[in-house]
Structure 1
Amino acid sequence: MSTTPDIAPAAAAAPTHPAAPADPAAATADDIGRLAGLGEAVAKARATKPAVIERGQAAGDALFLGDAPVTEATRRGLAALAARRHGAEALVRHHVEHGADERLLGEELPEDRALRAAVEHIELITVSPALAGREDLYRLVEAGWSTDAVVTLSQVAAFTAFQSRAVQGLRLLQGDAPTTEPAPARPTVGRGRTKSAARTAANGGDRPVEYTRELLSWTAWLPPVPVEELTPEQEDAFLGKTNGEYFRLLSRLPAVLKARTVLDAAIFATREGLPRAERELAAAATSKVTDCVYCASVHARKSAQLSKRPEDVDRLLAVTLDRDADWLPVATTPLAAGQDSRWAAIVEFSAALATTPVTATTTQVDRLRAEGLSDAELTDLVAAVAFFSWANRLMLSLGDPFWPGTAPTAP
């Protein structure tokens, strides 16, 4: 049976690290900082957590420059396509300048069967990740993509969601409203679907369909690396986390997983920055927008434990969002209903930054500042939302949640 993949128990003490001197130059040397065009104040605030900067860049370098069963031109072309769906034109140009296959950005789908399947998959989990299912992964395999390649494609889409929100969120902190270019006119393969209400997960376990703070497990739709076949590099990529199906599946691209694992800890497991309960609140709000029951359960539970405000967290979980034909929320402000002014401001901004494309505003940033959030706390909030825009898409497109103890056989 899978164990909870992503986080240590919420009550565990966060590690402390000596505060590094804030170096604004370091905060603009990475792709995210450069594309955000940071000014001195936000750059200095961001530099208070140098590991977030370094590991975010390391993940991107591993994904786009490292060895992978998908060519670099294809990886960058698909990332540019995803960035266009997110409205992040600066990121589109970045990949084009670095050799993206621009044929993947056209209005017409590629004639090549494998590339067509990849484009459709990238667009599905960029726009409507909660509508992805096992059959979508099988379609990729039938088109000729290996399991390692499928993981690579999913990471490209999910990491681009992270980068897009990091760039646009940081620009908002400087008073720059997102500039949205028209997305491709064609519908994604998800349009018109509804989210699965199946009560049985892929492994036969009982599948949750409602939001909860209870502990859930997760099972993969494609084969994870068997425990006995894990290489030292793959095991090192977990960095002390469980060897459940989630991490063993992602370990098929170990350099990306290792950078991502350290980035997770750098954002969520440090004492510096935004109070941890509010980072977890942002992750839960993001997961509600993306409609990831598994991720919401983990981070709502942690936020409730750390804040001692379970009723307020449950109020967030209880909101049902109206959704359009692409399963995008019609409005996200209902998620903040009934919260005090600080939590309402955090939830509203987090949810709007999590939408595709981003709908967060500089007015929401002004409200957060009026609630007393510093630039360092605001950059932390952006990082939390960006990271879970990544995590949600992996969880939703690669497997199912299930209730612990209900799977007929252990994987």
Structure 2
Amino acid sequence: MSSGARSAGEPAGADVVAELAGVGSELAAARRVKPEFVAETQRAYDALFAADGPLAPAVRRGLAALVARWHGADDVVAHHTARGADAALYADELPADPALRAAAEHLDLITVSPALARREDVDRLAAAGWGPDAVVAISQVAAYTAFQVRLVEGLRLLQGAPTAHGVAPARTTRGRGRTKSLAEIASNGAKRPTAYTQELLAWTAWVPPVAADDLTDEQREAFAGKTNDGYFRLLSRLPKLLRARTAVDKAVFYTREGLPRAERELAATVTSKVNDCVYCASVHSRKASQLSHRTDDVQRVLDAVLDRDPDWRATDLAPLAAGQDARWSAVAAFAAALSTTPASATPDHIAELRGHGLTDVELVDLVGSVAFFSWANRLMLTLGEPFWPGTEPAAA
């Protein structure tokens, strides 16, 4: 099922997100405050859909259109359709080809119920004939599309434009009826966290990462500044995409401009709670506490209990904003609503945020923070699992 073919890319200077969102001049000016974010978001798109890769171009776009359809993002479906997406992949019925069907079913978990994914789900992809590079590519298609549709939705809301999204089709999802694993032992034999924490956690992959000694210069450069751990060595199987993704991350979370950094980390924590990602929530709740000195308020977010439907989607988001001051409550409420699948943020959320003094630049940054963790959570939750560092069994 692999192909090194290259898809036709977008024209030079393209900005697919702006095109899909219909970004006007005022919002374009706000986005230009972080030009690296805009440029690297497009570079990630090009790396995923136009560069050589383990999936045929029509398959990449067909799977992206399927993910967009499950988000109710009709504009994104049409975008990929116009660029050669394999229509069989986003039809009402899943594809007949066993390998493509396995990929589509796995995308369902990543898109709607990522916290319900288990190692056997990844093993099923391998059994269907997908190698490690292809598994990472399949995962990135779903995760990047989740990021992209939330950017588009958020930017449209900031302009007061009507949503371009339709209604996600009613169907029985892959995760329907599953429950989240509360196993106390991770796949590497270490102790596994079963509750949210601000303590330091580690992560182990379910797909073989590139061995540290086997990394190419391009792969090392793709995650420069990040830890040389299994997560980034795994994602380095698609180095051009990882390099752009690393730059997007830095542009959102490590720049002075935009939303106060503590509130960016708060948004990442809330998003991780909606998606039920214990690992990401641990990292970014800890940073939110360090930057804000409001450890108790951050812990209140982690302690929030969310009712969930049979697909494990949060149905009551109010606990994530409860007990916070008015501004943090508004930030948390919007972050939670933009994180849902499909997104449920409304113009009322934007009006409340503006009422607390958030500028267009800060609001663009908030949308980017939520969108990025809609990407990150889906990779963390479906390519591996967290564990408590230092609890690994001794090597034989």
What is the TM-score of this pair, normalised by structure 1? 0.92
> Given the alignment, which residue of 378, 382, 395 partners 1:397?
382
Structure 1 equivalent of residue 207 of structure 2: 222
* SS state at 2:203 partner: strand
1:174-217 C-alpha deviation (Å, 9 max, x unpaired): 11243442323331211110110001111011100100000000
Counterpart position of 1:261: 246
Name the residue aligned to 2:6. Answer: none
Matches of 2:266 and 2:23 in 1, distance apart? 26
Q: Could you give the per-residue CA deviations for residues 222-271 of structure 1, whole angstroms, max 9, x where no partner exists? A: 11001111111111111121110000100000000000001100110001
**Partner in structure 2 of residue 48 of structure 1:** 33
| 1:106 paired residue number | 91
Check conservation: 1:283, 1:385, Cα contact below 8 A.
yes
Equivalent position to 2:182, from 178, 186, 197 = 197
CA distance in 1, matches of 2:137, 2:207: 13
2:36 counterpart SS class: helix
Counterpart of 1:142, as a letter, is A
The one-letter amino acid of 2:31's match is R
Aligned structure 1 segments of 4 or more residues deviating by more than 4 angstroms: none
Following the alignment from structure 1 to structure 2, what is the Cα–Cα distance between the partners of residues 410 and 379?
A: 47
Residue 239 of structure 1 aligns to a residue in which SS? coil
SS of the residue 1:344 aligns to: helix
1:29 is displaced (CA, Å) by 4.2
Asked if residue 87 in structure 1 is aligned to residue 78 in structure 2, the reply is no
Mapping of 1:146-185 within 5 angstroms?
A: 146-185=131-170
The residue that corresponds to 1:382 in the other structure is 367
SS in 2 for 1:51: helix
Name the SS for the 1:219 alignment partner: strand
The answer on 1:370 being equivalent to 2:370 is no
Q: What is the one-letter code of the residue matched to 2:254?
A: A
In structure 2, distance between residues paired with 1:233 and 1:408: 33
| Corresponding position: 1:270 with 2:255 | yes
For structure 1, which segment, 294-303 or 239-248, has the greater mean C-alpha deviation from structure 2 after superposition?
239-248
* Aligned pairs, number: 384
- How many angstroms apart in 2 are the aligned matches of 1:173 and 1:180? 15
Deviations 1:108-159 (A, max 9, x none): 1111100100110111110000011101101101011111100000000000
1-structure distance, mates of 2:164, 2:392 = 46
Could you say if the C-alpha distance between residues 314 and 31 of structure 1 is closer, same or farther in structure 2, counting changes exceeding 3 Å?
A: same
* 1:352 is aligned to 2:332: no
Moved more, 179-188 or 230-239: 179-188
State the partner residue of 1:361. 346
Asked if 1 retains the 8 angstrom alpha-carbon contact of 2:72 and 2:169, the reply is no
Give the Cα–Cα distance (whole angstroms) in 2 for the partners of residues 410 and 323 of structure 1: 39
Letter in structure 2 aligned against 1:136: D
2:194 is aligned with 1:209: yes
Please tell me whether the aligned partners of residues 35 and 91 of structure 1 are also in contact (alpha carbons under 8 angstroms).
yes
1:315 alignment counterpart:
300
Equivalent residue for 1:248?
Answer: 233
Alpha-carbon distance between aligned partners in 2 of 1:58 and 1:228, rounded to the nearest angstrom:
27
Deviation at 1:410, TM superposition (A): 6.8
Alignment RMSD, CA only?
Answer: 1.2
Instruction: Give the Cα separation in 1 of the matches to 2:395 and 2:225.
Output: 22
Deviation (angstroms), 1:331: 1.6
Q: Which position in structure 1 is the counterpart of 2:127?
A: 142
Q: Which residue of 2 aligns with 1:97?
A: 82
SS across alignment from 2:204: strand
Q: How far, CA to CA, are the matches of 2:395 and 2:344 in structure 1?
A: 42
Partner of 2:9: none
In 1: Cα distance, 2:283 partner to 2:207 partner: 23
* 1:64 and 2:64 aligned: no
Q: Give the secondary-structure state (helix, strand or coil) at the position aligned to 1:81.
A: helix
1:281 is aligned, of 266, 289, 299, to 266
Match of 2:8 in 1: none
Q: Amino acid of the residue matched to residue 137 of structure 1?
A: V
1:293 to 2:256 alignment = no
- Amino acid paired to 1:79: A
Structure 1 counterpart of 2:319? 334
SS in 1 for 2:385: strand
Distance 1:410 1:383, change over 3 A: farther
Distance 1:39 1:226 in 2: 46
Provide the C-alpha distance between the structure 2 equivalents of 1:224 and 1:170, rounded to a whole number of angstroms: 35
Quote the Cα distance in structure 2 between the aligned partners of 1:381 and 1:387: 10
Q: TM-score, normalised by structure 2?
A: 0.95
Match of 1:3 in 2: none
Matched residue SS, 1:218:
strand
Rounded Cα–Cα distance in structure 1 between residues aligned with 2:285 and 2:171 = 36
CA distance in 1, matches of 2:323, 2:162: 27
Cα separation, 2, equivalents of 1:36 and 1:145: 34
- The one-letter amino acid paired with 1:90 is D
Counterpart amino acid of 1:217?
Answer: A
